[in-house]
Amino acid sequence: MPSALEAPPEWAELRQKCPVARVKLPSGDEAALVTRYDDVKSVLADPRFSRNLNDPGAARIIDTESGGLFNSPVGNILAAEGHERWRRMVGKWFTARRMAALRPGIEATADRLVDGMLEHGRTADLVTQLAFPLPVWVICDMLGAPESDREKFAHWSDIAFSLTGHTEAEIDAAQQEFTAYLTDLVDGKRETPGDDLLSELLVATDAEGRPMSAPGLVATAQALLVAGHETTASMIGKMVALLLADRRHWERLLADRSLVRTAVEEILRFDPNGGFGLPRFLSEDAEISGGVVPSGTTVVCSMAAANRDESAFEGAGELDLGRSPNTHIAFGAGAHSCLGQPLARTELQVVLDVLLRRLPTLDLAVEPGELRRVEGLVVGRLEELPVRW
């Protein structure tokens, strides 16, 4: 088995010889895995490949009864808002200007977490001490929740992913608690608006002058936590691991901080642990790479494999921190591509800037080959990242 920092060798073989491969999902159900850059991009942009995996014919991804905290209720509420309409309303918040305004706060948060690492001595697990708390704190601030409630958000998010194996009753209780909390938070913002996403959405209207419904606002907050926490946390861990596994990369950034932006993009592209990819359900026959894929197939798009496609990226197997342009698809493509990508980019850039400034002697405390990936996830992550400085 390749280490958590090596791309699975079968990616290259599949891209070359078997662009639509029959695979078994973690649940045991079968799907068609797509690995070429052009194919993944066009499948994600093609509405015939739908995100509706509730179809009785669709494959189950992971064999679990509960399927996580926010699965259907939130999905249904957002669908009722109308996906395009919802995206336009929420997307307005993620402007470049807003991201620039958020930067100092994110930096202060990262600094605080690094202070915490330093207080503990000269070694730490970067995943638990920095990568996991940072994005959840950022989402809390973005929604305008008080700092004192950050731990509650971390708890709800943890249960959403059932990282530590929660019972159905615990998941239901957490969901109810979180919904009640957010309903109160939204009511509070109605009375006393702040400079935050929920306050802005409360007064926002669509093209017909209609506002978002109250359940829609609550579901939006839940969706942003689910979509924006684990993804960003995992990427922070993998980013630091990749840069330290071959310390020449770290040294290059120390010598030239202006590379941080392109370095973040390149790491998003290079991610050797991207999970198994995005599932889509096909309810009519369609063509991929010249072959017919029959109606009723669940197609899994491996963005990570596509991002290593030599036909799209010269020297695709090399981590080139100055790569530009970099048209990776780590944030997906098409109508559902990542709405929070400007925020994700900002967080990754800030974390990297802060680590380079505060912990220039940072190094792995284990051999790169000892790092373990958590298996069977849509978005891959590292179990832990022991570092020293």
Residues that bind ligand HEM in the complex, under the rule CB under 6 A: 51, 87, 139, 223-224, 227-228, 231-232, 235, 278, 330-332, 336-340, 343-344
Residue with tokens 């100055």: 322
Q: Which is nearer to ligand HEM, 163 or 366 (CB)?
A: 163
d(C-alpha 153, C-alpha 155), whole Å: 5
| 271 secondary structure, DSSP code | -
Q: Which is nearer to ligand HEM, 43 or 245 (CB)?
A: 43
- Residue 140 CB, nearest distance to ligand HEM (Å)? 11
- Residue 141 CB, nearest distance to ligand HEM (Å)? 11
Residue sitting closest to ligand HEM (CB): 340
d(C-alpha 100, C-alpha 247), whole Å: 30
d(C-alpha 44, C-alpha 336), whole Å: 8
> How long is the chain?
389
The two structure tokens encoding residue 384: 């832990």
- Residue 354 CB, nearest distance to ligand HEM (Å)? 17
d(C-alpha 221, C-alpha 341), whole Å: 16
Q: Which residues, in sequence order, are CB contacts of 210 under 8 Å at separation 6+?
A: none
- Residue 331 CB, nearest distance to ligand HEM (Å)? 5
Q: Which is nearer to ligand HEM, 343 or 354 (CB)?
A: 343
Q: Which is nearer to ligand HEM, 253 or 267 (CB)?
A: 267
- Residue 33 CB, nearest distance to ligand HEM (Å)? 16
Q: Which is nearer to ligand HEM, 20 or 143 (CB)?
A: 143
> Which of 93, 51, 89, 60 lies closest to 334 in space, CA to CA?
51
- Up-side HSE of residue 340: CA atoms within 13 Å toward CB? 21
- Residue 74 CB, nearest distance to ligand HEM (Å)? 11
Residue with tokens 């249960």: 159
Q: Which is nearer to ligand HEM, 87 or 388 (CB)?
A: 87
Q: Which is nearer to ligand HEM, 300 or 365 (CB)?
A: 300
- Residue 30 CB, nearest distance to ligand HEM (Å)? 20
Q: Taking the CA atoms of the chain, what radius of gyration do you get in angstroms?
A: 21
> Which of 257, 286, 273 lies closest to 353 in space, CA to CA?
257
d(C-alpha 254, C-alpha 371), whole Å: 24
d(C-alpha 269, C-alpha 189), whole Å: 38
Q: Which residues, in sequence order, are CB contacts of 31 under 8 Å at separation 6+?
A: 22, 23, 24, 25, 59, 279, 297, 298, 299, 300
d(C-alpha 165, C-alpha 174), whole Å: 13
- Residue 343 CB, nearest distance to ligand HEM (Å)? 4
d(C-alpha 272, C-alpha 49), whole Å: 25
β 30-34/298-301 pair status: parallel
- Residue 176 CB, nearest distance to ligand HEM (Å)? 22
Q: Which is nearer to ligand HEM, 105 or 170 (CB)?
A: 105
> Which of 131, 117, 122 lies closest to 351 in space, CA to CA?
131
Q: Which is nearer to ligand HEM, 51 or 357 (CB)?
A: 51
- Residue 255 CB, nearest distance to ligand HEM (Å)? 25
Q: Which is nearer to ligand HEM, 179 or 234 (CB)?
A: 234
